[in-house]
Amino acid sequence: MPHLLHLDSSADLTGSRSRAITAAFAETWAGRGADHTVTYRDLHTDPLPRLSTPALHWAPRLRTATETAPAEDEALQQTILDELLAADVLLVGAPMYNYSLPSTLKTWIDYVHVPGVTTTIDETPSQPLAGRPAVVVTSAGGSYVEGSPTAGWDHLTPVLRIVLGTALGMKVTVLATELTLASRLPALADQVRHSEDLFAAVQLEATAIANNL
Ligand SMILES: Cc1cc2nc3c(=O)[nH]c(=O)nc-3n(C[C@H](O)[C@H](O)[C@H](O)COP(=O)(O)O)c2cc1C
């Protein structure tokens, strides 16, 4: 059964573009038939506690003698890992907050980027998610494209590409919507049309991908 893990992290529960795009994706996915199942986790409304100890960053076999973790924290991490490992496709809603990730999404990354479990660090191959698709929907108030004055300020997309793609070995597709603050900030007023066109185009792209994965 093709299974989707759908994560959202925007703090905006009404006007979020990343939420709208991931919802369109998930709806299309589920619409393909009863065998296309979905697990949904809202990292904003149901936030994970931050990692209690660095021991959780390592596979148990790679921990030092003094690195131990409380059993309930191990159990929570295993739940989060099991959710990801059960997914044939990962869908992540990732708004830009302070040029970076929302802390809620960063915490989820802290739980799943585990050397020796989800990423290979020694002679034991440990990349069970290698080759699986990860669709990352980013949403930024400004613009960070090549040639813009703030090109290079995007510390959201590169982190997700490195962790999900390079470390976990997933096949990452980034669907980026930007200039979402154009209708709010007078300085961006001339970008409103472009922002709305981009939003519509990314929604269409998301549904096309959801139909084809
Ligand atoms: C806490 C916070 C920090 C933000 N920081 C930035 C930022 O650094 N750069 C930017 O372009 N937009 C920033 N924004 C604007 C959001 O990226 C923008 O509203 C985006 O559309 C949020 O995604 P969403 O529509 O899915 O909620 C910030 C918004 C919030 C709430």
- pLDDT tens per residue, range 1-35: 799 999 999 999 999 999 999 999 999 999 999 99
- pLDDT tens per residue, range 39-83: 999 999 999 999 999 999 999 999 999 999 999 999 999 999 999
Give the nearest ligand 1 atom to 177 CA.
21
Determine, yes or no, domain membership for 191.
yes
140 annotated among ligand-binding-site residues: yes
Q: Is residue 166 very low, low, confident or very high in pLDDT (cuts 50, 70, 90)? A: very high
Determine, yes or no, domain membership for 74.
no
Determine, yes or no, domain membership for 68.
no
- pLDDT tens per residue, range 106-129: 999 999 999 999 999 999 999 999
Q: Residue 27 and residue 38: Cα distance in Å, rounded?
A: 9
Q: Are 110 and 117 in contact (CB under 8 A)?
A: no
DSSP state of 115: B
Provide the domain limits for residue 112: 3-63+82-212
Q: Are 1 and 183 in contact (CB under 8 A)?
A: no
Determine, yes or no, domain membership for 52.
yes
Helices 103-112, 71-85: axis angle to 10 degrees equals: 90
pLDDT, position 179: 97
Helices (H), the chain: 17-30, 71-85, 103-112, 157-160, 192-212
183 annotated among ligand-binding-site residues: no
140 CA to middle of ligand 1, Å? 5
Give the nearest ligand 1 atom to 18 CA.
26
- Decide if pLDDT at 201 tops 90: yes
Determine, yes or no, domain membership for 73.
no
pLDDT, position 1: 78
141 annotated among ligand-binding-site residues: yes
For residue 89, what is the enclosing H or E element? strand 89-95
Token pair recorded at residue 28: 């299309």
**Residue of minimum CA distance from atom 3 in ligand 1:** 97
Determine, yes or no, domain membership for 153.
yes
**Residue of minimum CA distance from atom 24 in ligand 1:** 16
Distances (CA, A) of 65 to 2, 44, 68, 118, 196: 40, 35, 8, 22, 54
Instruction: Give the total number of structural domains in the chain.
Output: 1
Q: Calculate the average pLDDT of the chain.
A: 97
Least confident of 35-39, 144-148, 159-163: 144-148
CATH number at residue 132: 3.40.50.360
pLDDT, position 195: 97
The predicted model gives 84-102 an average pLDDT of 98
Q: Which residues line ligand 1 (CB under 6 A)?
A: 10-12, 16-19, 95-99, 139-142, 180-181
Determine, yes or no, domain membership for 140.
yes
Determine, yes or no, domain membership for 75.
no
139 annotated among ligand-binding-site residues: yes
